[in-house]
Structure 1
Amino acid sequence: MTIEHIPIQEIHCSVLDFPEYCSGFLQLNERKLLMTSEIAQTVIATAQAKAAEGGFAVSITVLDTTAHLVAFHRMDGAMLGPIDVSQKKARTAALFQTDSLQLGQAAQPGGAIYTLENTNGGLISFGGGVVLRDKNGAFVGAVGVAGATVEADEDIAQAAAAALKA
């Protein structure tokens, strides 16, 4: 059997037989699985309710720890432009495990990470992209909200993230 036919988990854990690496590999896989569709739907429902309270129609993106899409929702009446913006806000938070608003403070002209938005296929460095953590503080993904004011996007995303800790 050639190595191309062996599943990657077997390559890392059985063929190479490095227990400490195998353990790390399995832990990484477990972290990737922390985001479920059920969690994503909770995040979306919370964000949607908070947006409706403020009279906003927004786009909501939920990504896993690898910055891949788990769920997306565009509320009735939401504009088209915020679809991409919500995805980039969530991607920013997921890739750097830091809220987009916090990154934005250092991404201003003259800042240490100015032009960061031009990396990774396009990022966003203003409010509305929030890291998602479970009750134990483990990173499970990110949410991006766009379509209201920047301040309201941030508030909605923070409320959605807080739902996971309740």
Structure 2
Amino acid sequence: METTHKQAFKSLGQAIDKANQIGVNANITVLDTAGHIKAFIRMDEAFIGSIDIAMGKAKTAMLFRMNSEAVGEFLNPENKTYGMVNTSGGLVGFKGGMPVKSANGIIAYIGVSGGSPDQDFEIATAGSEIQ
């Protein structure tokens, strides 16, 4: 399914609103279903080093069609998946990346970085459900 710019900006806007509400300056990425960037913002004073992390979380969610922290469960050393984290250009297996859904199913992927993993998850969740 093609992700429209209106859908991407709605997701981004909802995430920005949540980031402002909880006081986190975040980097927020929205990818289309093929993994190409559709929208991005580095909020004022967001960490530059978090740009790649936000993009990596969104990409990880897209590659496996699940939340980035769920992919992280597969990356645990006790699962003996050595090197998996380095596949596909690098995976980011902690909170903050997830599918964006509408009534028609998955329409995009969002990745957030700038706060704690729980804050990033909260921001991404705000952008993950659009009508």
The correspondence for 2:94, drawn from 123, 126, 130, is 126
Which has the bigger relative contact order, CA under 8 A and spacing at least 6? 2
RMSD: 1.3
Q: Separation in 1 of the partners of 2:75 and 2:82?
A: 4
Partner residue in 1 for 2:85: 117
Q: Separation in 1 of the partners of 2:64 and 2:45?
A: 31
Query: Which sections of structure 2, spanning at least 5 residues, go unmatched?
Result: none
Give aligned pairs, total: 131
Query: Which sections of structure 1, spanning at least 5 residues, go unmatched?
Result: 1-30
Q: Percent identity?
A: 37
Worse overlay, 89-98 or 99-108:
99-108
The correspondence for 1:143, drawn from 100, 110, 121, is 110
Structure 1 residue 76 corresponds to structure 2 residue 38: no
Q: Separation in 2 of the partners of 1:142 and 1:135?
A: 15
Partner residue in 2 for 1:107: 75
TM-score, normalised by the number of residues in structure 2: 0.94
Contact 1:106 1:114 in 2 (8 A): no
For residues 10-53 of structure 1, what are the alpha-carbon distances to aligned partners after superposition, in whole Å with 9 as ceiling and x for unaligned?
xxxxxxxxxxxxxxxxxxxxx2x1x1111111111111110111
Structure 1 residue 64 corresponds to structure 2 residue 40: no
For residues 95-146 of structure 1, what are the alpha-carbon distances to aligned partners after superposition, in whole Å with 9 as ceiling and x for unaligned?
110110111122111226453220111110000001112113x221200000
Partner residue in 2 for 1:6: none
Decide which structure has greater strand share.
Answer: 2
Partner residue in 2 for 1:161: 128
Contact 2:94 2:117 in 1 (8 A): yes
Bigger Rg, which one: 1
